[in-house]
């Protein structure tokens, strides 16, 4: 049986203006049989997307093919004429990009874009294509399949757009599908639904697929074969079970470790033995909103946080977890004073902090520091590292001259970066290195609390795992407290002592890690816990059999005016009880709280 795709010794390079070309893809070979799903795993920069795009005879601008063959059904794509290549794209090989929002043209209807390939390449007539599109919408469980085609991309949610991309790719009945990190940008709960849809549709159509990703747990659910890539070269290749359970190559092993954080078992951290009764930060009943008319009796436009309370003890880590839009970043902004709370107080060591940043005194500002998410934009590209680190030293601590230089060197040591970096500019650093500088800058002020807002979300798995190790070491050394925000429950669980689970701006559960992550669960916490793709083959199928799940696809996070905010998505919801009245808080030992109408 001829392979659908057979890549031989592929070489791709990036020509440089004043140097020899840079080799991006080095001698890569790959084979995909009909109906097979092959995963290409690697971190960013590994070349996985570049290799996947070669199946379309396409190179991103700035790159060119410099060797090898790409055989599609036996014919070498790299030697084909331009018009023939154009005929293959979208017809025999279809591409699903990572970002659905960037894939769709905002000025054309969904229907036109989904059916375009099929019609242009003459596979179907316009009427037939429309019908097939409708069938695909139905198979992908998209709402309102008959009228969906007439809508525009901005009228549809992110998860729906992702599945529409699949419809667009499948409409022309291709032999091979290239899925390029299609679920990376999605929430964990949405991811499940989308994966389920993809898996079903791939099976039904009998297409072959290349699945590009850096997320191993996802690979375990969907792939038959796995190829591991690093720096443009193949490290290892084999059936999925073997790669996951018995990796041969060193790099693969490190990837597995980074993907499997240790403490989902919720081991106690042992710091509860003697809790310091005075919290360094206390958030008391804070509500916050965006929009005009914030203060006063008039209703604020967009209430984002509702009566959130939490305490951060000295040298403790409080993790805040929830989906995007749940208000966790808003919480950080309120604590830091960037957004004033509508009601409630923030206490620093028992003293009330002014709601506005501008009203706080210097020492109050110094003691609470933020570490931002996007390391790329959190550092001024025009300032050298020593200026970036030096400014808080001068501003808060009044250090100058030799004292300042020494402190800068000490900070670089603390974040495990070479001292020579102090003369560099941020664009010269990698993502992980920039994030370490971010941390160093926050630590320069000698704070009591660090507010970490999704600090590893934009980093690769291995790099991110290293940063978490660094955070743990820093915590031991300096005794700083952390408020650690993330959408990734496993990382939060790994690093935190306590967890606060937010849904739509409400606290639904909070308490010590081992309590929150073991039953009884708030229904939303259970949803989060079970949504994390486990590094186990067959986990997805098992989850889908379990009827407990309702994800949020197609539903926006609506805050009900009264009653429980989770009402619309809760499997235990009872109309009449849950949709009315204030949600009672149930207390459990060790400061564990669950907000639910049911007694769990």
Partner 1 sequence: MKQTIEAKTVGDSNPDAPAGKRIKLSWVGKLGLFIVIFWMVIALIGPYIAPYHEAELIADDSYLPASSQFLIGSDYLGRDILSRILWGTRTTIGISLAATLLAYFTGITLGIAAAARGGWTDMGLSRVNDVFLALPNIMLALIVIAAFGSSIPILIATAGLVYSCGVFRVARALAQEISVESYVTAAKARGEGSWWIITREILPNIMMPLATDFGFRLVFIILFISSLSFLGLGVQPPTADWGSMVRENMQGLSYGSWAAVWPAIAIATLTISLNLVVDDISAQSGGELAKKMI
Partner 2 sequence: MGSMIARRIAIGLLTLWVVSVVVFIGTEILPGDVAQIILGQSATPENLAALRAELRLDEPAFVRYFDWLGGMLVGDLGVSKAGGATIASLIQNRLSNTLMMAGIVTLISVPLSVLIGLLAAMHPGTRLDRIVSFGTLSVISVPEFFVATFLVLILAVQLKWLPSIAYLSGTENAWDLIRALALPVFTLAIVISGQMIRMTRASLLNVLATPYIEMAILKGVPRKRIVLRHALRNAIGPIINVIVLNLAYLVSGVVIVETIFAYPGLAKLMIDGVQTRDLALVQACAMIFCTTYVALILLADIAALLFNPRLRHPS
Binding site for partner 1 (CB under 8 A): 14, 17, 22, 24, 44-45, 47, 49-50, 58, 60-63, 82-83, 85-86, 97-99, 102, 158, 181, 184-185, 324-325, 329, 336-338, 357-358, 360, 362, 365, 370, 372-374, 377-383, 391-392, 395, 424-425, 427-431, 433, 441, 454, 457-458, 487
Interface pick for partner 2 out of 65, 95, 421, 566 (rule CB under 8 A): 95
Among 40, 41, 59, 89, binds partner 2 (CB under 8 A): 89
Report the nearest approach of partner 2 to the CB of residue 151 (Å): 8
Which lies closer to partner 1 via its Cβ, residue 113 or residue 183? 183
CB of 96 vs partner 2, minimal distance in Å: 10
User: For 85, what's the count of Cα atoms within 13 Å in the CB-facing half-sphere?
Assistant: 16
Beta-carbon count within 10 A of 250 CB = 10
* Partner from partner 1, partner 2, none contacting 407, C-beta within 5 to 8 A by type: none
In the complex, minimum distance from the CB of residue 61 to partner 1, in angstroms, rounded to a whole number? 4
Among 259, 159, 156, 166, CA closest to 211:
166
Contacts of 163 (CB under 8 A, 6+ apart): 140, 141, 142, 194, 197
The H or E element containing residue 409 is helix 401-414
**Long-range contacts of range 554-563, CB-CB < 8 Å, 24 or more positions apart?**
554/143, 554/157, 554/159, 554/160, 556/157, 557/323, 557/325, 557/326, 557/503, 557/504, 558/504, 559/303, 559/306, 559/504, 559/505
Nearest to 490 by CA among 470, 474, 468, 507: 468
Q: Of the two residues 97 and 133, which places its CB atom closer to partner 1 in the complex? A: 97
Alpha-carbon distances, residue 165 vs 40, 95, 175, 209, 248 (angstroms): 20, 9, 16, 14, 35
- Shortest separation between residue 8's beta carbon and partner 2, angstroms: 22
Q: Which of partner 1, partner 2, none sits in contact with 88, Cβ below 5 to 8 A by type?
A: partner 2
| Residue 458 near residue 374, CB atoms below 8 Å | yes
| Cα–Cα distance, 489 to 143 (Å, whole number) | 29
Which of partner 1, partner 2, none interacts with 344 (beta carbon under 5 to 8 A by kind)?
Answer: none
Binding status of residue 155 toward partner 2 by CB under 8 A: yes
Does 86 bind partner 2 (CB under 8 A)? Our answer is yes
Cβ of residue 178: shortest distance to partner 1, in angstroms?
A: 14
391 binds, among partner 1, partner 2, none (CB under 5 to 8 A by kind): partner 1
Cα distance between the two ends of the chain: 56
In the complex with partner 1, the residue whose CB is nearer, 119 or 594, is 119
Size of the site for partner 2 (CB under 8 A): 29
Closest separation in Å from C-beta 249 to partner 1: 22
Q: Is 74 in the site for partner 2 (CB under 8 A)?
A: no
Q: Which of 367, 325, 14 is nearest to 190 (CA)?
A: 325
The CA–CA distances, whole Å, from 490 to 263, 303, 353, 540 equal: 8, 28, 32, 17
- Residue 158 within binding range of partner 2, rule CB under 8 A: no
237, 227 Cβ separation under 8 angstroms = yes
Q: By CB under 8 A, what part of segment 9-68 binds partner 2?
A: 53, 56, 58
In angstroms, the CA 395 to CA 407 distance is 14
Residue 115 contacts which entry, partner 1, partner 2, none (Cβ below 5-8 A, type-dependent): none
Contact residue for partner 2 among 11, 116, 364, 416 (CB under 8 A):
116
Examine residue 97 and tell whether it contacts partner 2 (CB under 8 A).
yes
CB atoms within 10 A of CB 357: 15
121 binding partner 2? (CB under 8 A): yes
Q: Are 19 and 77 in contact (CB under 8 A)?
A: no
Residue 556 CB, shortest distance to partner 2, in Å, is 10
Partner whose footprint covers residue 513, from partner 1, partner 2, none (CB < 5 to 8 Å by kind): none
Between CA 407 and CA 430 the distance in angstroms is: 23
Residues at the contact surface with partner 2, assessed by CB under 8 A: 53, 56, 58, 86-91, 94-95, 97, 99, 102-108, 116-117, 120-121, 151-152, 154-155, 168
């Amino acid at each position: 049986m001829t392979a659908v795709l057979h890549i031989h010794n592929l070489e791709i390079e990036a020509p440089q203006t004043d140097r020899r070309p840079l080799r991006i893809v080095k001698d890569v070979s790959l084979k995909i049989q009909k109906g097979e799903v092959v995963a290409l795993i690697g971190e960013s920069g590994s070349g996985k997307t570049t290799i996947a795009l070669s199946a379309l005879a396409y190179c991103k601008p700035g790159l060119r093919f410099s060797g090898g063959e790409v055989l599609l059904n036996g014919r070498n794509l790299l030697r084909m004429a331009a018009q023939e290549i154009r005929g293959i794209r979208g017809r025999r090989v279809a591409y699903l990009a990572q970002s659905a929002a960037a894939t769709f043209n905002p000025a054309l209807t969904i229907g036109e874009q989904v059916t375009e390939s099929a019609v242009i390449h003459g596979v179907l007539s316009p009427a037939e294509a429309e019908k097939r599109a409708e069938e695909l919408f139905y198979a992908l469980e998209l709402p309102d399949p008959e009228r969906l085609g007439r809508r525009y991309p901005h009228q549809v949610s992110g998860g729906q757009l992702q599945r529409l991309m699949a419809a667009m790719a499948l409409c022309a009945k291709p032999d091979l599908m290239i899925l390029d990190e299609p679920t990376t940008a999605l929430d964990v709960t949405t991811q499940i639904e989308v994966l389920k849809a993809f898996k079903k549709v791939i099976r039904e159509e009998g297409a072959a697929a290349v699945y590009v990703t850096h997320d191993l747990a996802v690979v375990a659910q969907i792939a038959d074969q796995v190829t591991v890539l690093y720096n443009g070269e193949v490290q290892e290749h084999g059936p999925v079970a073997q790669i996951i359970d018995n990796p041969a190559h060193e790099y693969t092993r490190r990837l597995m470790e980074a993907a499997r954080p240790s403490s989902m078992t919720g081991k106690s951290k042992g710091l509860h033995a003697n809790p310091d009764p005075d919290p360094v930060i206390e958030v008391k009943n804070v509500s916050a909103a965006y929009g005009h008319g914030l203060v006063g009796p008039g209703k604020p436009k967009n209430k984002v946080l509702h009566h959130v309370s939490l305490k951060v003890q000295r040298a403790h880590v409080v993790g805040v977890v929830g989906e995007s839009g749940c208000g966790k970043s808003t919480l950080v902004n309120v604590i830091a004073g960037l957004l004033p709370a509508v009601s409630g107080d923030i206490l620093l060591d028992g003293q009330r902090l002014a709601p506005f940043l501008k009203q706080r005194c210097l020492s109050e500002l110094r003691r609470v520091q933020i570490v931002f998410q996007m390391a790329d934009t959190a550092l001024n590209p025009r300032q050298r590292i020593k200026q970036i680190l030096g400014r808080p030293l001068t501003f808060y601590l009044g250090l100058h001259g030799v004292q300042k230089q020494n402190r800068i060197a000490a900070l670089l040591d603390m974040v495990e970066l070479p001292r020579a970096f102090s003369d560099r500019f941020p664009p010269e650093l990698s993502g992980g290195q920039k994030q370490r500088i971010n941390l160093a800058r926050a630590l320069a002020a000698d704070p009591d609390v660090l507010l970490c807002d999704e600090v590893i979300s934009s980093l690769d798995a291995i790099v991110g795992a290293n940063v978490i190790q660094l955070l743990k070491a820093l915590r031991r050394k300096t005794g700083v407290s952390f408020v650690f925000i993330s959408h990734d429950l496993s990382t939060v669980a790994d690093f935190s002592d306590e967890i606060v689970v937010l849904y739509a701006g409400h606290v639904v559960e909070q308490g010590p890690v081992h309590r929150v992550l073991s039953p009884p669960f708030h229904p939303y916490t259970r949803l989060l816990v079970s949504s994390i793709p486990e590094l186990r083959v067959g986990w997805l199928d098992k989850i889908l059999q379990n009827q407990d799940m309702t994800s949020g696809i197609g539903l926006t996070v609506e805050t009900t005016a009264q009653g429980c905010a989770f009402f619309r998505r809760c499997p235990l919801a009872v109309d009449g009880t849950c949709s009315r009245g204030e949600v009672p808080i149930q207390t459990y030992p060790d400061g564990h709280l669950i907000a639910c109408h049911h007694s769990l």
